Amino acid sequence: MRSKVTILGAGPAGLWTALSLLNKYTDIDITVIEKEDVPGGITASFQYRGMIFDYGSHRLHPATDPELLKGIEDMLDGDLLKRPRNGRIWLEGKFISFPLKPLDLLFNLPFSFSFGVAVDSLQSIFRRKKEGSSFEDTLLAGLGKTISSRFYFPYAKKLWGLPPLELSPVQARKRIASGSIGKMIKKALSSLKGSSGETGIFYYPRLGFGQIAEVTAASIKKKGARILYNVEATAVTIPANGRQGVVVTSSGERIDTDFLFTTIPVTEFIRLLQPVPQASVIEASEGLSFRSMIFCILEVKSSQYTPYDAHYFPGADICFSRLSEPENYSMAEKPASRTGLCFEIPCSDEDDIWRLGNDDILDMVLNDLRKTDLPKPEIAEFTIRRKKNVYPVYDHDFSSRLEIIEKLLGSLTQTISLGRQGLFVHDNTHHTIEMGIAAADCLSSELHWDKKKWADYRELFDSHVVVD
């Protein structure tokens, strides 16, 4: 009989686990279960009024492994574009270039900011390095007071919903690559380098970032696997000791499985398990939290709103954290004299803003947009999209809670949790794709799992730092 593998979630990790297994073995039946109507998860794209939108600003970074980048390029068959980075940050009432440029740091910021950074830089020479006990302590030790308090602290509160003092120092290490003023200046001088040594670039599919997931899903189906869309797992009996497990779905299907990969939020997976895990595991899972995101999508009566691909807004006085203009990423065809804008509003799905009506969200976005130097958009139409479980929140208790869950998951011999949501990590798309490839590498054709090899991969994953 053919072995049966089930994968929960058709995001990058789930898709590339499936594709990599299919490339290795021909005698495995694979079923991928996805609750949305398209693949990709947060990296999916959608069409609105003749334009292609992503769920926020997504890029394939030049830090992507060259071999993986070549594989994606081949799959997209000429549709992977190399684009220049061209963003801005609204800081201290002015826009400055992002990635940072030395002249901006020296001349385009208020004197008090530049002077403060200079003083912090001098003090850092004599400051003793010590391990921070919080996000706040870690950044103050590495970047000094000025950059921390006037840029990163308000941005952190906006993105993760907690004051910097209540965030784990792991949040700083995982999300802020330039953890010292020296590194920040070096990054400003060199920007991001691709495998060819080029700087200030990114890669982007011609038909939206979701095109990567779409061609991957098409390849998976062509190789004979099933992808079930608009279907959720409602209960899971895990396979163990050579016995099949069962995934019960919202469509009423019961899927027998010899091996299970889950890339859905680990908190959701714990709630699906039958029999119910111990109370300590349930309590630990309920203590973990994700941030959600509201996307305010505008169709604007203009051929181009600005020449910039993305604008970043760290300040607490503006509800959105980022504004992107999709056509500046791909230069895809669109209706004449129209462009699209995507505003990202981080929040919790328990916040009042999550329950606001669409018109109220639009009013809030436009009111805050007036606080900047950006032009007033002439809006033709708009829509609101919402996504849960976008960013994991690293409070001071997250690691101890995650350890309890990991202990349970680590005891399972035929079930593996992976991906951004499955491992509760902050990672780029190329990182999560690499996780899927690694997972397939650890599974033999007889469905024997190589724990040692996976532990080595997990150690590598732990070293990942998000690339901006």
φ/ψ of 71, rounded to 5, equals: -65, -45
Q: Read off the tokens for 322.
A: 């980022």
Rounded CA-CA distance 286/416 in Å is 20
Torsion, CA 128, CA 132, CA 137, CA 138, rounded to 10? 90
Task: State pLDDT tens for residues 312-368.
Answer: 999 999 999 999 999 999 877 778 899 999 999 999 999 999 999 999 999 999 999
pLDDT of 176 = 75
DSSP of 181-241:
HHHHHHHHHH--B-TTS-BSEEEEETT-TTHHHHHHHHHHHHTT-EEE-S--EEEEE--BT
Confidence class of residue 188 from pLDDT cuts 50, 70 and 90? Answer: low
Mean pLDDT, all residues of the chain: 92
Confidence class of residue 200 from pLDDT cuts 50, 70 and 90? Answer: confident
Structural contact between residues 466 and 426, judged by C-beta atoms closer than 8 angstroms: yes
CATH of domain 100-190: 1.10.3110
pLDDT of 194 = 47
Rounded CA-CA distance 193/110 in Å is 29
Confidence class of residue 196 from pLDDT cuts 50, 70 and 90? Answer: very low
State mean pLDDT over 22-42.
97
Q: How far from the centroid of its chain's Cα atoms is residue 173's Cα?
A: 16
Question: Where do the structural domains in the chain lie, given as residue ranges?
Answer: 3-43+206-288+395-462, 100-190
State mean pLDDT over 189-202.
59
State mean pLDDT over 207-221.
97
Q: Is the pLDDT of residue 446 over 90?
A: yes
Directed axis angle between helix 451-462 and helix 429-441, to 10°? 170
Residue type, 55: Y
Q: Which pTM does this prediction carry?
A: 0.93
Q: Is the pLDDT of residue 130 over 90?
A: no
Q: Is the pLDDT of residue 131 over 70?
A: no
pLDDT of 185 = 56
Task: State pLDDT tens for residues 74-98.
Answer: 999 999 999 999 999 999 999 998 8
pLDDT of 143 = 86
Rounded CA-CA distance 426/396 in Å is 16
Phi-psi region of 78 (alpha: psi -120 to 50; beta: other; left: phi over 0): left
Report the percentage of the chain scoring pLDDT > 90. 81
Rounded CA-CA distance 48/54 in Å is 10
What CATH architecture applies to the domain 3-43+206-288+395-462? 3-Layer(bba) Sandwich (3.50)
CA angle centred on 324, ends 345 and 327, rounded to 5°: 145
pLDDT of 195 = 46
Q: Read off the tokens for 108.
A: 């385009």
Peptide bond into 164 cis (omega under 30): no
